[in-house]
Amino acid sequence: MPRYIRPSPQGVVMVRHPRRSGILGLTAGLAFLSFVSKFSEHVQIYKAKNQKIKGGAKEPPAEGLAVFMKFILGSTCSFREGVTVLKLSLMLLLRTVGSVWVSKHWGSIVNSVVKQDFIRLAKLVGEFAGATVALSVLNALLKYYIAALRLQVREKITLWCHDKYMRPKDMIFYKANKVGKKIENCDHQITSDVERFSDVFAEVFSQSLKPIVDFLVYSVELSRVQGLTTPLTLYSWFAFASCVSAVTLPPFGELAATEQKLEGNFRGKHSELITNCEQIAFLGGERPEKDVLNKSFAQLISHCRRTITASFNSEVLRQYLNKYFCTVIGLVLIARPLRMRSKDLPKLQHDQIAQYFTSTWRNMEAMATAIQDLFELTNRIGRLSGFASRVRQLMHGLEVRPPVLQEEIEVAKQGSHPPVFNSGENLKFDHVSIYRPDGTLLVKDLNFTVERGQRVLVTGGNGCGKSSLFRVIRKLWPLVEGTITMPPDKEIYFLTQVNFVPQGSLRDLVIYPASHAEMLASGRSDEDVRTCLRWAHVSPTVIQDGRAQLEFNDQGVVVRPALDDVRDWQKDLSPGQKQRLAFARLFYHKPSFVVLDECTNGISPDVEHDLYDRCTRLNLAVFSISHKIELKLFHDRELHYVGDLQGSWTMMECSHTRDKITRSSSTVKLPEPDKAGKKESRITYERHVWFAE
C-alpha cells in the first residue's frame, strides 16, 4: 500500500523507495517478456501442427521462426544490415524516451492549468514546441531506417538467390524449373515472396522493438510511481486475456504461406496465358482460359475469406479483453492509491491529483498499448514465420538440388559402363544409355563417333528421345551409363526448336552471350557481325531488289536496324527471322560441333539449304534433329531412334555424291496399302547445286 504521495522533480511519486520499485518493475517486465515470446512461439507451432493433422499431412513443422531467421539472415545479411538494425533500435529507444518526457511534461502542463500559473504554462508550452521538433526528426528517421532495412534485406536475399539460380555451369534456373523436384513458381517466389518477407520482417522488427522498449520503460515508470501492484495486475490480466485469445487464434503462419502459394499459382496462370497468347488467340480459347484464371483466383479468394473469418472470433475477444475491459482495470488501479492512502497524511491539492492522474494515465495507457502490441505481434510473427518458411524453402531448393536418377547411376557404377565424361577432339559415345529424369529408358547402348566436319541427322518418332541425347551432353540431365568423350563445352553449340531472343542491340543478339567489350577484346569487329548476318540471310543492308533481308514496318516507316539499335526484338522479329538470327549467332561463334534441333522450321528451303552449306564450309560437325527427310541430302549419316521399349537405334549412311549430284532416299510407310498391296514407298531426293569453294 502506498504510504506517500509526494511531488518530486520527476512528478508525483506514491511509494517510499521509488528506485528499488523501479528495479523490481524492470525485473518483472523482463520475466513477462520472456513469457510472451515463449507463449507466441508455442501457440504458432501448436496451431500449425493442429492444422497439418486436420489437413491429413504427416509431418508437423520441425522448425520454428528462430531457425528460419537464422538460416535466411545468416546466409545473406551482413555488417551493413547489422548497423541499420542498431540505428533503428537507437531511434526506437530515443522515441520512447521522448514519449515518456511528453507524458511527464503533459502532467506538468495540466498542473499549471489547474493552478492557473500562466507564466509557468507559457514556459512549458514553449519547451514542448521546441522539443517536439526533435521528436519529428526522430519519427522521420525511424521511418527512414525501417524502409532502409526492408530494402537492404530484400536486396541481399534477392542477390543471393540470383547467385545460386544463375550459378555458372550448374544451370539451376533450368533444373529448378524442369528437372526432378521442381520449385513451384520459382519466379513468383524470388520476386514476390522475398519482397513480402522483407516487408513483414522490417515491420515486425520495428513493431516488436517499440512495444518491448515501451513496455520496459513504462513498467519501470509505473512501478516507480505506484509500486509493483499496478504493473503486476496489468501483466496478469493480459496473460489471462492472451490465453483466452490463443484458443481462438488461427495459425497465421500456415495461412500466410498458403496464401503466397496460391498467389504464385494465380500469377503463374497469367504468365502461361501471356506466353501462349498467340496460339490461344488462333484457337479462340478465351472461354476455357478465362475459366482457368477464374478457378485459380477463386481458390485464392476463398482461402483469403477463410483467413478473415478465422480471425474474426479471436478479434472480438481480443478487442474487448485487451482494449475496453482493460480500461476498467486501469481506472481501478489509478484510483487505488488515492482511496487507500492513510488518513494521517497531508491533504492532497487538486493540482497534484490532476498531475498524478494525467501522467499516470498516459503511462498506463502507453504500457497497455505496448502489451497489446506485444500480443498483436503473435499474428505478425505468425505471418512472418509463414513467409520465412517459404523463403527458406526457396533458398534451400536453390542451394541443394535433390539428385536425379541416383538409383540408376548407382547401378551403372557397379557395372562395366559407369557414367564418365572425357574430353577429346571428337564427339564419341561408348555404351551410352539415355534415361528420362523419371527413370524411363530412351536409348540403349549408343556407340559411334562424330568427327569434326561430319554431319549426322538424328531421326525418330516424336518423344523418342532425340533432344534428350543433347540434354545429357549439355549436362542438363545426368549421364547414367557409358562414356561420352567430347570437346570443351564452348566448342559445342545448341540451336533449339524454340528460339530465344536476348535483349540488347542487334549486335548483342549476334554475339550473345559475349558482351561488346569482350567482342572487341577478342579482336572481332562489327564487320564480322555484318558478315554473319549476311551468311544467315538476315542482313539489314539492301543487297538486291531495294529490300534488305532484315527489315520491318514500324508505323508506316521501313526500319532496317543498325548494329547499335536496341528494340523490342521479341515483338519486332518474326519466328523465321529469329531462327535466321540464331544461325548468325552460330556463325559468329564458329564452334566445332553444332546441334540443330528442328531450328529451321520457319525458314524457306532455299535459305535452309544455304545455311547447311555454310555449316559445311565452316567445317562444323553438324548434329541435326529433324523430321524432314529431304535434309538427308545435307548429312553423311543418319542416327535413327526406333522408339521401342528397349531403346533400339540404327546408324546408316544417308547420302552419296557422284558427278556433283547428291542423292538420298528414304522408305516411308504409306497411310494405307496401295492398289498393288504395297505398304511402303521409296522417296529419292537429288541435289544438283554445288556450292563454290
Ligand X SMILES: Nc1ncnc2c1ncn2[C@@H]1O[C@H](COP(=O)(O)OP(=O)(O)OP(=O)(O)O)[C@@H](O)[C@H]1O
Nearer to ligand X, 431 or 628 (CB): 628
Q: Is the dihedral of CA 625, 473, 447, 437 positive or negative?
A: negative
Q: Which residue among 253, 465, 478, 591 contacts ligand X (CB under 6 A)?
A: 465
Residues 268-307 contacting ligand X, CB under 6 A: none
CA distance linking residue 224 with residue 217, whole number of Å: 11
Q: Which residue among 464, 533, 538, 595 contacts ligand X (CB under 6 A)?
A: 464
Say if residues 397 and 220 touch (Cβ distance below 8 Å): no
CA distances from 622 to 135, 278, 549, 586, 613 (A): 73, 32, 25, 12, 11
Q: How far is the CB of 183 from ligand X (least distance, A)?
A: 14
Nearer to ligand X, 465 or 591 (CB): 465
Alpha helices in 116-193 (DSSP H): 118-165, 172-178, 186-188
Choose the binding region for ligand X from 155-163, 321-329, 463-471, 684-692 (rule: CB under 6 A). Answer: 463-471
Burial of 305 (0-12, 13-18, 19+ CB in 10 A): exposed
CA distances from 77 to 4, 69, 160 (A): 52, 11, 9
Give yes or no for residue 467 binding ligand X (CB under 6 A): yes
Q: Which residue among 210, 455, 466, 632 contacts ligand X (CB under 6 A)?
A: 466
Chain position carrying cell 515463449: 38
Nearer to ligand X, 453 or 643 (CB): 643
Nearer to ligand X, 463 or 673 (CB): 463
Alpha helices in 276-349 (DSSP H): 277-283, 286-318, 325-339
Give yes or no for residue 656 binding ligand X (CB under 6 A): no
Nearer to ligand X, 431 or 436 (CB): 436
Give yes or no for residue 204 binding ligand X (CB under 6 A): no
Give yes or no for residue 478 binding ligand X (CB under 6 A): no
Residues 347-366 contacting ligand X, CB under 6 A: none
Give yes or no for residue 463 binding ligand X (CB under 6 A): yes
Closest CA to 215 of 367, 375, 99, 102: 367
CA distance linking residue 449 with residue 460, whole number of Å: 19
Choose the binding region for ligand X from 245-253, 465-473, 550-558, 652-660 (rule: CB under 6 A). Answer: 465-473
CA distances from 692 to 71, 218, 613 (A): 64, 93, 10
CA distance linking residue 329 with residue 656, whole number of Å: 101
Binding mask 377-416 for ligand X (x = CB under 6 A): ----------------------------------------
Nearer to ligand X, 72 or 457 (CB): 457
Q: Which residue among 149, 153, 157, 179 contacts ligand X (CB under 6 A)?
A: 179
Nearer to ligand X, 238 or 470 (CB): 470
Q: Which residue among 462, 555, 667, 684 contacts ligand X (CB under 6 A)?
A: 462
- How would DSSP label each residue in 494-518? EE-SSPP--SSBHHHHHHTTS-HHH
CA distance linking residue 654 with residue 665, whole number of Å: 7
Give yes or no for residue 82 binding ligand X (CB under 6 A): no
Give yes or no for residue 468 binding ligand X (CB under 6 A): yes
Residues 428-457 contacting ligand X, CB under 6 A: 436-438, 442
Cell of 392: 527458406
Say if residues 431 and 445 touch (Cβ distance below 8 Å): yes
3-state secondary structure of 492: strand
Give yes or no for residue 191 binding ligand X (CB under 6 A): no
Nearer to ligand X, 242 or 468 (CB): 468
Q: How far is the CB of 643 from ligand X (least distance, A)?
A: 8
Question: Which residues form the interface with ligand X (CB under 6 A)?
Answer: 178-179, 436-438, 442, 460, 462-468
